[in-house]
Structure 1
Amino acid sequence: MLAARIAAWSLGGIPLLRLAWLVWQGHLGANPVEFLEHYCGDWSLRLLLATLAMTPLRKLSGRSEAIRVRRLLGLWAFFWVCTHFAIYLTFDLEWSAAALAKDLIKRTYITIGFAAWLLLLPLALTSTKGWQRRLKRRWAQLHKLIYPAAALGVLHYIWLVKADLREPLLYLSILLVLLGMRVPWRGILRARSLSRSAP
């Protein structure tokens, strides 16, 4: 379990240390704001996908450690989403509510990204064991919002990119594979087989 937690902390924390080093050295390219937004956005998606991968990983490996670090990975993903959003609010909008409202109306990719953040917000706020006990079965239902949130995150990236779609399409492919692994294909195929063989 300790090794799994170290891996989860490393996956979320090492990119933060690298970013701090790049800022310290001034290695943010010709457009630092764009670099920061893309860097944080990329790690948001990577960690969201890593979070979604934990359940299939547990099923394939039979090891419960994957589920135990899922919450930690999800919180890291939310941290990077909030950092991505905060950079946009600070440098692009200067924390102007009017400018945000204008972007939400006129820029579809902003609307999609904002919707993804809104879906993730209650998941982060209710991620503790205390909330899990309070909400009981509703907790699991609420936390299924991570699936549309991840889909909106990938769609946000696809809509944003104007030229090279290889990376966002790679994220989309990974997301579709992870979602496909959650479909009970065996039960579906068995039900179809039984329906065909029935008189």
Structure 2
Amino acid sequence: MNLSRALSRRSIEWIKFFIHSLSLSWAAVVFYQAATDQLGGDPVEALLHFTGISAFNLLLLCLSVSPLAKWLRASPLMQLRRLLGLYAFTFACLHLLSFVMFELQLEWQLLMTEIIKRPYITVGFSAWVILLLLAATSTKAMQRRLGKQWQKLHNWVYLAGPLIALHYIWSVKSDIFQPVVYIGLLAILLFCRKDKFIKTTYCVNEKRG
């Protein structure tokens, strides 16, 4: 059975509705728990972990769409990439905002100091800037305007992933098992694109030659 035919436009819309519902309700519940002091002994750490790991989860899901669609021969699944990517950026923004609000007490001038002083914040902020650029240029209008440069820009997502992984493992104080698992999943997803990386490298070398 051709899964592309089975996945109608209505089916994709329902999947998008599920992504919207789960992402928004999940965030609402956790922030409500934070506001009502239900996140345990260290609510700030819990909130930072939740927003950060949610951003990473959504980015991994975004990166998994392309190989999954290819493996299942279900091209309609590609319509989910932008939505998952935008929610990854949304949770990354909540992660940054939570850090500034609760760790820095809204002392925005301290943010640059923290970015310079702490390497794990440096790489995390670098990943956020990349996600910001990708989110800002994710529309079809921007794709038409940028032309061939659009794909080159959006290939930076393959740098954002490792930066987030590095930020995660550096920020962990003791148990690194979960970060290592996430790094493994990211490595698998990047390995699925090895042919694309080889082709890109070959094209670059050809132009230089």
Q: TM-score range by the shorter chain?
A: 0.7 to 0.9
In the TM superposition, residue 156 of structure 1 has moved relative to its aligned partner by 0.3
**Is 36-45 or 99-108 further displaced after alignment?**
99-108
**Is 98-107 or 109-118 further displaced after alignment?**
98-107
- Give the counterpart of 2:125 among 114, 137, 153: 114
In the TM superposition, residue 15 of structure 1 has moved relative to its aligned partner by 4.3
After TM superposition, the structure 1 = structure 2 runs for residues 1-199 of structure 1, keeping only pairs within 5 Å, are 1-11=9-19, 13-25=21-33, 26=36, 27-184=38-195
- Kept after mapping to 1: 8 A contact 2:23/2:87: no
Q: Residue 127 and residue 23 in structure 1: after superposition, are their counterparts in 2 closer, same or farther (change >3 A)?
A: closer
TM-score when normalising by structure 1 = 0.86
- Equivalent pairs, count: 187
Runs of 4+ in structure 1 over 6 Å off? none
- Kept after mapping to 2: 8 A contact 1:12/1:47: no
Counterpart AA for 2:73: G
In the TM superposition, residue 9 of structure 1 has moved relative to its aligned partner by 4.3
Unmatched runs of 5 consecutive residues or more in structure 2:
1-8, 200-209
Cα deviation code 1:1-37 (max 9, x no counterpart): 4333433443454243134234435321111111111
Give the equivalent residue in structure 1 for 2:207: none
TM-score when normalising by structure 2 = 0.83
- Secondary structure of the structure 2 residue equivalent to 1:127: coil
Q: Residue 9 and residue 152 in structure 1: after superposition, are their counterparts in 2 closer, same or farther (change >3 A)?
A: farther
- Kept after mapping to 2: 8 A contact 1:41/1:80: yes
Q: Give the whole-Å Cα distance in 2 for the aligned partners of 1:9 and 1:62.
A: 22
